[in-house]
Every structure is written in C-alpha cells, then in structure tokens.
Chain A
Amino acid sequence: MRKTLNNRAWLMVAPVMIVVLFSALLPVMTVVNYSVQDAMAENHFFWNGDSWFRELLDPSTEIGSRFSGALERNLIFSFVVLLIEVPLGVALSLTLPRRGWAVGPSLVLIALPMLIPWNVVGTMWQIFARADIGLFGATLTGLGLHYNDTQDPVSAWFTILLIDVWHWTPLVILLSYAGLRAIPDAFYQAARIDAARRWSVFINIELPKLQRVLVLAILLRFMQSFMIYTEPFVVTGGGPGNATTFLSIDLVKIALGQVDLGSAAAMSLVYYLITITLCWIFFTAMTQLDLLKEA
C-alpha cells in the first residue's frame, strides 16, 4: 500500500507548538541557562559548569543542608496530606446523597473552599489561627492547649496541614463522588442479592471502580501539596525557625531574597525533576497494580 506523504498537517500543530514554546520551553531554558552560569556585577555572566548542582546536592554545604532539610519537610508534608485527604475524601463522598434535591446544595457547599484563592485562604487562617484574637487559636488556648502557630513548630505544622485538608479534601470528595456515581445500580442490587455486607461492597465493588479517579486524585494532590507555597508564606512565614520552610519558600528566598540566581536555578530544576519523577512513580505503580496482582 502506498501512502502519500503530506507534511502540511504539521502546520495545524504549529499554533499549539508556538504556545508551548513560549509558555513552557523558553522559561525552562532560561532557568537552565542560569543554572550553569555565574553572574558578576553589570550582568556579566560566565560558564560555571555543574558546580551549582554539586553544591546543592552536597548536604555538607550551607545551601545543600537547606535544600535537603526543605526536601525532607516537603516529602513528609505531601505524604501526610495524601494519608489524610484521600481516605477522608473517599469516606465523605460515600456519605453524600446520591439523588434528590440535596445533591446540588451539598456539592456546592463542599466545593466552596476550593473556590477561595490561595492567599485569601492564607490571610483568613492567619487571623483565624491567632492565639489572642483568632476564633480557632483563641478557642484552643481557651481550652488550655498550648497552641501558637508562629512560635511552636508543632502548632505551625498542625495549622498548615489543617489548612490544606480544609482547602483540598473537597477535590478528593468530588472526584470520588463522580467515580461512585458512575457505578451502575446493578452492582449494588447484585450485592444485596448476594447478601454482601457494607464493608465488602466497599472493598469489592466501590474501591476497584474508584481506582482510576483515585489515581487522578492522588496525582493532583501530590503535585499541588509538593508545590505548597502561599499558605506557609502567609501564615507562618516559613517559621518558627525554618520548621515550615518548604522547597518553594526556600527557593523564593534564595532567588529573590539573596539573588543567588545560579543556586536558585539549579534548585528549581532539581525540584522540578523530583516532582516529575515522583508523579511518574505514583502513576506507574498505581496503574500497574493489576498486572502485578495477576503475575
């Protein structure tokens, strides 16, 4: 069979290629450019090879220890966020009404936190959590608990985690709810005929059918929580000490505070690669789960 080669189709792809070039490729290349150069005064750049990367990845250097500390905090934060939000979201989605007038109002109410911009969320919680005048902080203090999100690391972590759970569990709920709604009634009816218990229905019908949406939920929540910036920036400022200094916060300090463009660029690239790699691992692990079970 002979096929006519016609490369004019590439023209159709050209607009999106141009957009991607300006939106993604060029900015990333700028960062790559900074990461291998050092700048002297008067915008005078010279080649610096991989030494920014060496310094960054060596924990004995100042920048290296900051990086590894922040990375550790990021990993712990994302892990805890996933551990709380995914089970909580699925559990709450199971309690939502499936039909009737209550569906619309409950979905809207649940989605509300997601509609609030990040720095508004931060500002709200900064006041809400204040131990002297904030409703939340003052209540906890009034109950005799030792709570102060700007002075006590445990309080600070607790607050940041609480903000994230409040802000983003709705996303997991909505995704999981959509997945549950897609399960045909016949499955539940068959389970009743088979006298399956509620837990058994969840494990054998609902959870397997939710697998796809949960992959999506876990990826989205991981990426967003791993990039967390605004909440700690506004609420705790990365403190106390550097207890809530996550990678993005440190990155901004290095790039814009200290104007160490080379270090900052190297750090962004490594940060970026870690995010992509972890996402890939999550995705592969979760989609290959079935094949592994079969083998």
Chain B
Amino acid sequence: MARIDLVDLAHSYGGRDAPEESFALKPVTMTWRQGGAYALLGPSGCGKTTLLNLISGIVAPTHGKILFDGVDITQQSTEKRNIAQVFQFPVIYDTMTVGQNLAFPLKNRRVPKPEIEKRVAEIARLLDLTPDLNRRATRMTADAKQKISLGRGLVRPDVAAVLFDEPLTVIDPELKWQLRSKLKALHRDLDLTMIYVTHDQTEALTFADTVVVMHDGRVVQSGTPAELFEKPAHTFVGYFIGSPGMNIVPAEVKGREARIDGHVIALNRSYDTLPAGAKIEIGVRPEFVELVPPAPGLLSTNIERIDDLGRVRFARVRIGDTKLAARVPSGFSSSDSTAALKFDPAHIHVYADSRLVEGAA
C-alpha cells in the first residue's frame, strides 16, 4: 500500500533522442493516492498501457521518476516493485489448478503456507471460485480464466497498487457488468489502490472515483466523473466523455458575449484576457442546449435528424457550417425543419487552443 508519485515521467519507444511529439507518453507529473479507484481512460494508442507498464516496471521510462511512498523505485525490477497487474487476455498457468494459480504469486514470495491458504480462500470466495479451486485451470471457460487472472492480481495483500489493463475485453457484456461491480466491491473490501485502463467511458465512469483522461500521450484531465462531465478541461474530454459528446463551436468571445455565425450568445463569466492568436471555441454539452420553436432573438437552426435514445431525444442541427447536438424537450414536435436553440449560460465553457479558460466573475 502506497502513494504513487510520477515525476516528470515520459517514455518514447523511439529512444531518448526522438522528438517529443513522437513520445508515447509525454512528460507527466501526478499523484495516485493510497486506496483510490482510478480509471485511465482514452482511445487506443493514447499511451494508457505505456503508463501502466511504466508503473509496473515492464517498460523502463525514457526519463522521469516513479516514487512509491516517496521512495524512488524507477530502477527497481517488476518483481521487486510490489505491483500486481491483470492483462487484457487471461494469463493462467496451464499446469496448475485454480487454487495453485491463485497461490502462485504468494508462493514465489515465500509467504508462509497457512497465510497463503487463508488468502487464497478469501479471494476465491470473493470471486465465486471456491467450488473450482481443485480443478485444472486449463479446463475453465474464458471468463473464469480471466477471473483467475483477476484473483492472482488481488491475492497479494501488501501491493502498492493493482493495475488492470482492459481486463474485461474478453468477457460477455452481461458478465462484464457483474465483474465490474465485483471489482468495485473488492476495492471497498480490500483497501487496495486500483488503476483500471479502459477505452470505454461507461466502464471508467462506473468503476472509478477518479478518472484520468489521456489523449495523444498526455494526461488531459483527472477528476471525478461529475467534474469531467460538467467542466471538461480540454475539448477532447468534452467530446470523448458523454454521449453524444460536447458541442465544440468556433466562436468569437469578447467580455460576456460569444458570437457564433453573427449571432450573440450570453455568457455567465467575463473573458477579457484571452490569449491573442489562439483558436477560440465554446463548448456546451447537448444536455444544456434546448431545441425550441423559432422565436425572435434566438439562434435559429436547421434540424438534420432526431435521435431517440429512449430516455431522451437529441436533435442534430446545423448553424452555417457547424454541426451541433441539442436536447429535444418532451412534448416538442416540429413538422418544420427549422427551430431555435436556447443555451444555458451556466454551462457554456470557453476554450483557447483546446484548453479551458477560466472566466472572471
């Protein structure tokens, strides 16, 4: 159990001299607190797995340091690091029974036998593997095998963190839900730091209390699911999280006004010191843009189509060349293809070069 600090950590598969733009992980400094449930979220190739492998020591960093409870372990081998990791595909030892598989990490570390038995029994009970403890692991189904892998990750009580690298990829959707809830429960029971890599926002948002969003080798935001939803720090977080994603619209912003396509939208805060020459955009979630019948003073738009998601409906609309999504209130019906948009000023954010700008009150 430990706090994990990353200090200016970066990795390049092309070696130290490669240009920084090509780094798989660009320099990052951050802290993972003991006992946290973290999700590392981002599209394929954004550097999540690299970051995970750096923490576990499978990959050595190009520069920077990793500290466990303040102790620099950057040069330590994976075996010595006290890290557990579960991989995307089940890894089981074919020659062993389920119980022997679970006991293996403890046995190799010369944990006394009674303690091994106690811990294996506990983990097997938590993962519903108790009836299978004496079966050969090769004979199990793919998802039971993945449960064994999860079990091997969780069996050591003293690990600094358990790292999960998209562990539910091979599991059926139904079981996926169950296993995720199980992991969440295990996190509460075992007081372990867990870092869960995924590209699936539902998985990340339901598992973690802190979601770390990565994009193109950088950590762009880390926060609670609510923070990511309400106040994305980067336009990428805006459209990657949420379905449909955030509307990002190029705009001219001056003081308390944003101008889109010649139309003025009021803002809650004042933006007087925007960097000169930066690309200015406003971002607003579709949930906070309402589709209303055309009226004077409102931004009018063309409806392209309406998606019915069951609980809510979202309209795809167009203003000039810009496409947006807007919430369709229940009871709204329009035979006409034109409508107007009503923005909620409290939820409009301003971005300069894709990064959130805090306005003045």
Contact = CB atoms under 8 A, between A and B. Distances in A.
Q: Are the chains A and B members of one assembly?
A: yes
Interface of A: 184, 186-187, 189-190, 192-197, 200, 203-205, 207-209, 290, 293-294
B123 to A, nearest CB: 14
A189 B139 contact: no
A197 B108 contact: yes
Interface string B64-86: 00000000000001110001110
Contacts of B225: none
Given A190-B85, A204-B95, A205-B93, 19 more contacts: A186-B89, A186-B91, A189-B56, A189-B78, A190-B87, A192-B77, A193-B56, A193-B83, A193-B84, A193-B85, A196-B108, A197-B108, A204-B94, A208-B94, A208-B138, A209-B94, A290-B138, A294-B136, A294-B139
Nearest to B136: A294
A293 B149 CA distance: 22
B221 interface: no
A98 to B, nearest CB: 15
A192 B78 contact: yes
A141 B185 CA distance: 75
B109 interface: yes
A63 to B, nearest CB: 48
Given A184-B89, A186-B87, A186-B88, A193 B94 contact: no
A207 B53 CA distance: 26
B144 to A, nearest CB: 16
Contacts of A187: 91
A190 B109 contact: no
Contacts of A205: 93-94
A207 B93 CA distance: 11
B285 interface: no
A19 to B, nearest CB: 40
B244 to A, nearest CB: 35
Which 6 residue pairs are nearest across A and B when measured between Cβ atoms?
A: A208-B94, A190-B91, A195-B108, A194-B105, A186-B87, A204-B93
B104 interface: yes
Contacts of B149: 190
Contacts of A290: 138
A195 B109 contact: yes
Contacts of A294: 136, 139
Interface in B115-137: 136
19 contacts: A186-B87, A186-B88, A189-B58, A189-B87, A190-B91, A192-B79, A193-B85, A193-B105, A194-B108, A194-B152, A195-B109, A196-B104, A203-B95, A204-B93, A205-B93, A205-B94, A207-B95, A209-B94, A294-B139
Contacts of A204: 93-96
Contacts of A184: 89
Contacts of A186: 87-89, 91
B94 A192 contact: no
B201 to A, nearest CB: 25
Contacts of A200: 108
A286 to B, nearest CB: 15
A195 B79 contact: yes
Interface string B37-60: 000000000000000010011100
A186 B149 CA distance: 11
A190 to B, nearest CB: 4
A290 B104 CA distance: 21
Nearest to A290: B138
Interface centre among B104, B109, B138, B152 (most CB of A within 10 A): B104
Contacts of B138: 208, 290
A194 B94 contact: no
A114 B53 CA distance: 41
Nearest to A190: B91
Contacts of B95: 203-204, 207-208
Contacts of A208: 94-95, 138
A190 B149 CA distance: 9
Contacts of B139: 294
B78 to A, nearest CB: 4
A192 B108 contact: no
B270 to A, nearest CB: 52
A207 B87 CA distance: 21
Contacts of A194: 104-105, 108, 152
Contacts of A293: 136
B169 to A, nearest CB: 12
